[in-house]
Amino acid sequence: MKGFGRYVIFLGSLFVRRESFKTYYNLTLEECIQIGLKSVLLFMLVSTFMGAVTTIQTAANLVSPFVPRFVIAQVVREMTVLELAPTIMAVIFAGKVGSSMAGGLGTMRITEQIDALEVMGINASSYLVLPKIIAALLMYPLLVIVSGVCAILGGYIVGSLTGALTPTEYIYGIRYTFNPYFITFALTKSFTFAFLISSISSFKGYFTNGGALEVGIASTNAVTTSIIAVLLSDYFLAYLLL
């Protein structure tokens, strides 16, 4: 509970004694490049394979002649939109971006760079962390959209190449009984996960004490805590919104 209290106070500190809008604008753009653009390839690669694997495994399990083959595409769509793109990618996002945030801030802490900012009269938490959270909120939903498209494309390519289902069946299945609310749900989840991962990782890194070993521990803690928070919130969001 003490840790949670410190986390809430830390979040509150991001919004006091802020610098100029221009400062945050530039920092947020830099973070968007770090968080978003530099993660796109990894997200595309992982998603494409996940979509492909989901297609093959679903095809292998749907052996009944009474189940039409387009259902494979329908399963791929629902899994991608509801879980794979927002939630599984959040685990990867925590591993790549969250650990980097915690490690970067932890290193800044132990090398007194954060102290240097404070001495200059700058609110270091706001200056360093707020742009990261804003950038994560902007970029993660976009990454989830890219991820969803790639997963569905991956399924399409593999389904066609292996003959599990024809392109026409796949497209029909993707469009069949499509519920647009699931996209809203996936984006709501992605905003929530982006906030949790970026804020928890920053919190863990910002309060690192000690040396290189502790920076490593902070990074690990950031990833594990973020993933637990993501999974818990995933359950509650599903319970509340579906």
Instruction: List interacting residues with other proteins (CB under 8 A).
Output: 17, 19, 23, 107-108, 111-113, 115-116, 118-122
CB of 120 to other proteins, least distance (A): 6
Name the residue nearer to other proteins (CB basis): 24 or 191: 24
Name the residue nearer to other proteins (CB basis): 73 or 108: 108
CB of 111 to other proteins, least distance (A): 6
CB of 42 to other proteins, least distance (A): 22
Name the residue nearer to other proteins (CB basis): 118 or 212: 118
Name the residue nearer to other proteins (CB basis): 24 or 49: 24
CB of 16 to other proteins, least distance (A): 8
How far, in Å, CA of 54 to CA of 200, rounded? Answer: 31
CB of 95 to other proteins, least distance (A): 22
Name the residue nearer to other proteins (CB basis): 97 or 227: 97
